[in-house]
Amino acid sequence: MKLVFEIEPVEQARPRATRMGRGIRLYDPKKVSVYKKQLAMMCKFQYKQEPLTGPLKVELKFFRHVQSSLSKKERELRLSGSHRPVVKPDTDNYIKSTLDGLNGLLWEDDNQIVDLIAHKYYSDRPRVEVEVNEVCCTHKQ
């Protein structure tokens, strides 16, 4: 199954903390929280089935905006895929926020993901593409 979310990818940031009486409560920064909520709403609109169970293979493609301050030549290289994003945010931080945002919707829990592939690209159309496949066979070593 493949889903496309027309949303600018947002990286998972360090959690913030606040005191609550004698304890401390951790929470996501607003930007991350909004991203996860928007992703969840888009997912509910596109995927109307029960969350998948069992082992899963997930491929993620993150398409981020091309900066407007670039030369025309550099912009074309980035949009063609010749130049890929080797700058922050890190791919693993995109992965974390996206998998967390889809927990309980596409899959019961992201601990079911046994194979994971992720890519970062530039695009004029920021989005997140998620492809999920059930893993049916076990691999013996």
Residue 69: band (very low, low, confident or very high) from pLDDT cuts 50, 70, 90: confident
Torsion angle in degrees (nearest 10) through CA of 111, 112, 114, 119: -80
57 CB burial (10 A radius; 0-12, 13-18, 19+): middle
User: In Å, how far are 4, 23, 51, 65 from 132, measured between CA atoms?
Assistant: 12, 38, 11, 24
* pLDDT reported for residue 140: 59
Question: Using one digit for the tens of pLDDT, what is the confidence trace for 107-131?
Answer: 999 999 999 999 999 999 999 999 9
